């Protein structure tokens, strides 16, 4: 098949492109519904590959689930594909999110799939069906290190191939694909505070090439850091480093992580911070 002609010479390409770009910016994205994060990334854009990465216990899966549920509550149709969760574990996690946000069990929910042998071929077929039958608007996948691929190549190993194929799915079906990724132990061996960096992501070279947005999650409290350099409490604080962002700036965004309910929340929307304080602080 020959390449599709995007525009013909002599046509007003740039003027039309500006109109199309503005239209995409206004309509063709799914917000994360974390307001500070959306101010930076402008929501999850169609045809974008978004990577959420972090060390174990940082809450990557929980953040993705919370985003998916919040999107479903706003009548966005999203699908989540998991490989490591059992049905009971997934049900428990979703119930915690619904309870934390005081949503009834009858509230809309994402399409959930558990497939321990998921590969990119199966995923593409499922996305094609869901796009045709349900007109889904976003897909979440766990994870680039676990999902099977067609055939690893000499230049790209399994995870690298998965990243490229997920990127292709996002382009083919014009939807955002949000994929989870693990981080190497590199931050642990560095001197000072072990903040994750883009280069710490496994197969970071492929991610740097194909990902449109990269979010790195970090919770200082987990490493025993309870107060920042200005004396502000870090209890419950989750830092999201927007390490790559083709839609805007790269910066840090702060969310709140409630260990008791195991959910992420918008910091600026919390009226009561007492549950994030030590008895002495409260």
CATH number, domain at 158? 3.40.50.300
pLDDT value for 28: 76
pLDDT value for 268: 64
* 168 within some domain: yes
pLDDT value for 223: 84
* pLDDT higher than 70, residue 7: no
* 209 within some domain: yes
Percent of the chain with pLDDT over 70: 81
Q: How are beta strands 44-45 and 111-114 bridged, if at all? A: unpaired
Contact 120, 149 (CB under 8 A): yes
Instruction: Provide mean pLDDT across the span 172-195.
Output: 83
pLDDT value for 216: 94
pLDDT value for 9: 52
Interval 9-38: pLDDT, tens: 545 544 444 444 444 344 478 999 999 999
Contact 122, 115 (CB under 8 A): yes
* 18 within some domain: no
pLDDT value for 269: 60
**Tokens coding 42:** 């402008």
* pLDDT higher than 90, residue 6: no
Mutual orientation of helices 158-173 and 120-134 as an angle, nearest 10°?
Answer: 20
What integer best gives the mean pLDDT of the chain? 83
* pLDDT higher than 90, residue 190: no
* 190 within some domain: yes
Choose between 150 and 27: higher pLDDT: 150
Instruction: Provide mean pLDDT across the span 102-116.
Output: 93
DSSP 3: P
Beta-sheet strand order (sheet of 111-114): 111-114, 78-82, 138-141, 177-182, 49-54, 213-218, 237-245, 252-258, 263-266
* 108 within some domain: yes
Nearest to 56 by CA among 158, 183, 159, 240: 183
Instruction: Provide mean pLDDT across the span 130-143.
Output: 95
Indicate whether this model's pTM tops 0.75: yes
* 208 within some domain: yes
Quote the CA–CA distance of 86 and 89 in Å, as a whole number.
Answer: 5
pLDDT value for 256: 92
Nearest to 174 by CA among 24, 52, 37, 21: 24
pLDDT value for 253: 94
Quote the CA–CA distance of 148 and 217 in Å, as a whole number.
Answer: 25
* pLDDT higher than 50, residue 281: no
Interval 208-247: pLDDT, tens: 899 999 999 999 888 888 888 888 888 899 999 999 999 8
3-state secondary structure of 84: coil
pLDDT value for 60: 92
Number of domains in the chain: 1
* 101 within some domain: yes
Domain housing 128: 30-217
* 73 within some domain: yes
The stretches of the chain forming alpha helices (DSSP H) are: 13-27, 35-41, 60-73, 87-100, 120-134, 158-173, 186-189, 204-210
Choose between 227 and 194: higher pLDDT: 227
pLDDT value for 278: 45
**Which residues contact residue 105 at a Cβ distance below 8 angstroms, ignoring those fewer than 6 apart?**
95, 98
3-state secondary structure labels for all residues of 18-54: HHHHHHHHHHCEECCCCHHHHHHHCCEECCCEEEEEE
Interval 55-92: pLDDT, tens: 888 899 999 999 999 999 999 999 999 999 999 999 99
């Amino acid at each position: 098949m020959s390449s599709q002609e995007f525009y013909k010479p002599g046509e007003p390409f740039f003027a039309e492109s500006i109109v199309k770009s503005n239209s995409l910016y206004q309509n063709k994205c799914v917000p994360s519904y974390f307001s500070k994060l959306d101010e930076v990334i402008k929501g999850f854009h169609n045809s974008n590959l978004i990577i959420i990465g972090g060390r174990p216990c940082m809450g990557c899966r929980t953040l993705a689930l919370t985003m998916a549920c919040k999107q479903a509550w706003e009548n966005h149709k999203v699908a989540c594909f998991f490989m490591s969760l059992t049905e009971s574990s997934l049900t428990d996690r979703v119930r915690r999110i619904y309870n934390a946000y005081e949503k009834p069990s009858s509230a809309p929910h994402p399409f959930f799939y558990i497939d321990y042998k998921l590969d990119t071929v199966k995923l593409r077929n499922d996305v094609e069906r869901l796009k045709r039958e349900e007109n889904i608007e976003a897909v979440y996948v766990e994870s680039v290190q676990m999902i099977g691929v067609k055939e690893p190549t000499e230049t790209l190993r399994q995870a690298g191939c998965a990243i490229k194929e997920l990127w292709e799915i996002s382009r083919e079906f014009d939807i955002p694909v949000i994929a989870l990724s693990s981080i190497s132990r590199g931050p642990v061996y560095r001197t000072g505070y072990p903040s994750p960096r883009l280069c710490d992501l496994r197969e970071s070279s492929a991610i740097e090439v194909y990902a449109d947005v990269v979010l790195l999650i970090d919770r200082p409290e987990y490493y025993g850091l309870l107060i920042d350099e200005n004396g502000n409490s870090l209890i419950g604080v989750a830092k999201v480093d927007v390490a790559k962002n083709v839609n805007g700036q790269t910066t840090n965004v702060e969310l709140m992580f409630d260990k008791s309910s195991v959910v992420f929340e918008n910091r600026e929307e919390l009226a009561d911070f007492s549950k994030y304080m030590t008895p002495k602080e409260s």
